A = this chain, B = another copy of it.
């Protein structure tokens, strides 16, 4: 982070960049459109980021730390016995994923072009891996208490994670609360809870 002048400006650029890149993709988005949205001149962008690629990478990677902290935070904010905690986490996760549509679209855009954005994809995978670690712990704990059973906890966690991405991709606009509830049920089922048989 060059931190040349105003960190506020830097943030404005990054926010504008996330919006533009997620709506139009990398190549279609112009530096000018980002600058305009950030309320500055296009040339100023280059004072804060060395190139369009640099800005893109920072816009995608930058929020990752916060993003996964947030997810972990959701887990830690739960209360009750561990089964109840897991269920609460699922609810919070689904809500969170549907609310972060903009940024998630950007991440999904990058994931859809793995060869093109190899280096960024790898960085995100590494963040995700850490998060899956945390998730795995939680699920394992519930399992040890005998309340659910999953042969392959880690792989189950990846399924869960994929599901969250899948719903965010398919429904990033106009989701009903009924639909949201169903997503939560489905997510719980993936983790082995919530079956009402």
Contact = CB atoms under 8 A, between A and B. Distances in A.
Contacts of A115: 23
Interface string A150-171: 0010011011111111110111
Contact of A112 (B27, B109, B190): B109
Interface in A108-164: 108-109, 111-116, 148-149, 152, 155-156, 158-164
Interface residues of A, number: 48
A116 B28 contact: yes
Contacts of A112: 22, 105, 108-109, 112, 169
A183 to B, nearest CB: 6
Contacts of A9: none
A68 interface: no
B111 A169 contact: yes
Given A27-B25, A190-B190, A108 B152 contact: no
Q: How many copies does the complex hold?
A: 4
Interface in A3-34: 22-28
Given A186-B190, A197-B195, A25 B155 contact: no
A96 to B, nearest CB: 16
Most buried by B among A156, A183, A185: A185
